[in-house]
Amino acid sequence: MSRLIALLSLSLALGTAIAAPAYYYRWQGDSRIVCAQTSPGPGWTRLHGAFVKSDCSI
């Protein structure tokens, strides 16, 4: 049982070690542009570029 716990702990640690940052994108709606990781909803179009900071700066 302790080997199983050790194996699960190791696999979780390895998964977080190779995780990449989530990018932010500019999304254009009817009258404004917002910065978000995912689409704000229907009717929004993702503009070109990917950003690391939540204010869509480099």
Q: Which domain covers residue 46, as residue numbers?
A: 21-58
Q: Indicate whether this model's pTM tops 0.85.
A: no
pLDDT at residue 15, rounded to an integer: 60
Domain contains 25: yes
pLDDT beyond 70 at 3: yes
Using one digit for the tens of pLDDT, what is the confidence trace for 5-51? 887 777 777 665 677 788 999 999 999 999 999 999 999 999 999 99
Domain contains 3: no
**Number of folded domains in the chain?**
1
Neighbours of 15 (CB within 10 A): 9
Which helix (H) or strand (E) segment holds residue 36: the answer is strand 33-36
Domain contains 37: yes
- Rounded Cα distance, 26 and 23, in Å: 10
Domain contains 52: yes
Neighbours of 24 (CB within 10 A): 20
